[in-house]
Chain A
Amino acid sequence: MSTARPQVTPPQPWAFPVPTEHVLGNGVRVLLHDLPGQYVLSLRVVVPLAVSAEPAGQEGIASMTARLLDEGTASLGSDEFAELMERHGMVLGAGVSDGGLLVDVDVSQRHLATAAGLLTQALAAPAFPEDEVRRILRNRLAEIEQERASSAHRASKEFARTLWDPADRASRPTGGTPESIGALTRDDLVEFHATHVGPDGATVVVAGDLTDVDVLAVLEATLGTWSAPRHTPSARPVPPLPAADAARVVVVDRPGSVQTEIVVGRPGPDRSTPHGWAPHPVLSFVLGGSPSARIDAVLREEKGYTYGIRSTFRPRVAGGTFVTSGSVRSEVTGESVEILLGILDGARDGFTDAELRTGVDYVAMTAPGRYATADAVADESATLALEGLPGDFTTRNLLAVNALTLADLDAAYGRVVTGEWTVVLVGDAAQVVPQLDGRVPGSVSTVAL
């Protein structure tokens, strides 16, 4: 026996947690999220830093600087620093986006003071020991080879190279090339750190259960002492310039591949777009966000050609991309690309009421769960800080999502999608290229892996 399908009660309105805001003695902005029950604290430090400010020929120096922050400081050797982190159950990660350096630390509540102290040393006084510099650069060169061997990584790299103007920093990997990494020296890194990493314009976010913790006193005694006399914040990044010949098909030859990695995309907006960010996550969901979205309804559930294809608007601090990606088995590459482009272009004819409703409900109603943990809240707060967006952006955006109309959805899609696509296929060229004949617009070129 079975009972009748239950009715659903709609959820109550929900808001992204609002942080309290403070300023340390040295000007560093502090955002605190007290989240009872979240026993692991998430610390994030963001420093505005445009990757386009890297000196010519030194692409990747920002990333390598980030990686070397915890490889030895003025007072601690690399091993000593690592051991202190491990003994206090702390993890530290550092990386860069187009608009900034982001350092994240997770640590249990009782070790906050130690973690904040080590984080401060890493930011303010990294020593860049010659031995560690050489090791990290050599590891990065090996990592570039590993990325080349992975279809998904290789596709992302070729996509950026094809989509953006060759003179634009965005056309080259954030982590650098073998040539640029191979040329870096310790002096380059020391100089880059001294002039590009400092407290001016920096924001620190702490999220988690702050019961009985004097966070501000801890931060004042640690990150509040951070100074960098030669640091000048870099100018706010600008959106990358698309290549004049971005609308074409590039096949990266990866002989023996049993699948073809597909990336199809266009330049897209950032979250500061004056037209409003709200429609974009809904569009992502409707086109390529679930097995019943437009793309997987055909390529996965009807044809069985793929495990899943995803569409995403990926905002940068400035500009962004609209990317659809996934892999299909080699034999059906041509047909799959044709179907995929047909679905993406066909969506310019408009979305349906049902799609609007489910897309809006999914994006709006999953928000409480997506921001339920300290690390998710800290990540969002830090990203907002880097993007220069206000702390209520997330909540206001959800209200805007709920108010979306079909016309809003269609207009947002029309602003991005013109019928011209950058298409990158990583697969066995001998098998793939003949399948493309008459199925894709524009020129097809083949490059080596």
Chain B
Amino acid sequence: MPLDYPIHRRTLPNGLRVVVSPDHTVPNVTVNLWVGVGSRHESPGRTGFAHLFEHLMFQGSKNVPSGEHFEALMAQGARLNATTWFDRTNYFETVPKGAVELALWLEADRHGHLLDAVTQENLDNQRDVVKEEKRQRYDNQPYGNALIDLYAATFPQGHPYHHPTIGSMEDLDAASLADVHAFFRAHYGPDNTVLTLCGDITPEHGFELVERHFGPLPASAEPRRENHPQLEPLAQPVRVERRESVPNDRLHIAFRLPVDETDEFLAAAVALDAIGGLSTSRLVRRLVRRDQIALGAHATAWGFVDGASLGFVVLDVAPGQDPDAVEAAFVEELTAFLAGGPTAVELEASLAQSERSWLSALASQEERADAISHHLLLHDDPEVVNTHLDRLQDVTAEQVLAAARRWLQPQSRAVVAYLSAPADDEAVGDVAEDSAGDSDAGANVEEVA
């Protein structure tokens, strides 16, 4: 269906890219900023720093005492948070429209003048909070290491997506106040930031308010490096086994994919839908419903910009079943798909489900603002919110088959197997740096709260 969410765009002289997208159905405005820094920009020995830094953005700035960002906005009926992911960091609040200028003032103060207020005490406290976040979401969860193992198995040492956003305990311990200052100076500034206002506001008023509060900030971020060149598929399978006290065996099977917003990435995502993403996918029909050797089968494609994206399948092995047999059946189904490509029904189903989930995401001002900032920052094209479904509709069976044959070959898979059987070895495989027992996994971005 044709979408026409309004997109009014302007770039300030200091480089800040701004979109105002009016929507008067709810008397709120979402303020959403994306900063072009994520865990992909972290240096060795400082993993997890982009996320730790994001926490410090709530601990006070030049004119805002520690903790007041949350307090002042919540007292005005704001819902707010911030998240860090491989490619970027975002900060956002949805406020009653009468509080939008307060939100912009608070954002400009911390995005422009954070270092006036950062203290060792706040760094130490938020380091502890982040370590508890890591323990809660990764270390104390069954299969907690799985996705972190998967990143390390799929992407080579030194690649932007080799290490997780949450980082390691050692690196968090090593973070210093000097790192905070250097990170802010390198990455934060209007020239590496985009800002979206979505909601009950006119473009004129929105641009005026943004200019009033962000206009005075100087361009200050260091120039961005070029994105990495596209990574080729793995030449041969990689396998990592973990033996832990997990309730059932679970296989995570990953593939390198083309970068986001390319026709080839969209086609590969449709292929993954047909293979394992739909509730009628080939893996669900075969492994879950027919053979009943798996409890569940899921597939996901995560689009990234820095030289690769990530596609992966998760197979929960049914109790008493052989994980090798499950993997062999997976390879069989994959091979059959690579021979024949998607059926018309698979294409129809993938498109229909993508349409519903895209429209559901855009249904709220918060998520719409986030989608606009996303495509503005990483692809310089906020109109994607309106054009994405048309592009999906144009994906052909031939494109899906071609993308699958290039990116989803069985020999290009990285497998991380979590096996419940006890064993003497802690781990076998080639992911040496993750065997310290402090790594972890998560399917989600790191949030401040």
Contact = CB atoms under 8 A, between A and B. Distances in A.
A79 B128 CA distance: 49
Nearest to A107: B356
Most buried by B among A138, A257, A304, A369: A369
Interface string A350-376: 000000011001101110111011110
Given A3-B212, A305-B128, A135 B292 contact: yes
A387 to B, nearest CB: 24
A78 interface: yes
Contacts of B132: 259, 304-307, 327-329
Nearest to B66: A301
The DSSP consensus for interface residues of chain B is helix
Interface in B269-298: 278-280, 285, 288-289, 292, 295-296
A148 interface: yes
A300 interface: yes
A150 B142 contact: yes
A256 B79 CA distance: 36
B113 to A, nearest CB: 7
Contact of B96 (A139, A256, A368, A372): A368
Contacts of B355: 89, 108
Contacts of B96: 10-11, 365, 368
B102 A369 contact: no
Contacts of B239: none
A287 B278 CA distance: 42
A420 interface: no
Contacts of B449: 290-291, 307-308
Contacts of A40: 356, 359-360, 363
A3 B213 contact: yes
A78 B285 CA distance: 10
Interface in B389-411: none
B375 to A, nearest CB: 19
B54 to A, nearest CB: 14
Interface string B122-158: 0011111111110111011110000000000000000
A85 interface: yes
Contacts, number: 213
B392 to A, nearest CB: 12
B325 to A, nearest CB: 17
B145 to A, nearest CB: 13
Contacts of A86: 278-280, 349, 352-353
A107 B133 CA distance: 35
Given A37-B25, A139-B295, A304-B128, A6 B352 contact: no
Contacts of B436: none
Contact of B352 (A38, A89, A150, A328): A89
A379 B113 CA distance: 42
B216 A1 contact: yes
B27 A146 contact: no
A295 to B, nearest CB: 13
A368 B27 contact: yes
Interface string B78-100: 11000000000000001011110
A216 interface: no
Contacts of B130: 307
A36 interface: yes
Interface stretch (B69-77, B179-187, B256-264): B69-77
Contacts of B74: 290, 292, 358, 362
B26 interface: yes
B429 interface: no
Contacts of A3: 105, 212-213
Contact of B27 (A11, A257, A292): A11
B101 A6 contact: yes
Contacts of B129: 300-301, 304, 306-307
A291 B82 CA distance: 13
A328 B130 CA distance: 12
Most buried by A among B26, B133, B366: B26
Nearest to B78: A366
Interface in B308-347: 316, 318-319, 345
B240 to A, nearest CB: 21
Contacts of B101: 6, 8
Given A291-B67, A307-B136, A327-B136, A358 B141 contact: no
Given A6-B102, A9-B98, A87-B345, A361 B77 contact: yes
The 3 residue pairs across chains A and B that have the minimum distance between CB atoms: A365-B77, A304-B128, A9-B98
Given A305-B132, A372-B365, 6 more contacts: A2-B109, A11-B98, A149-B245, A292-B70, A368-B26, A372-B25
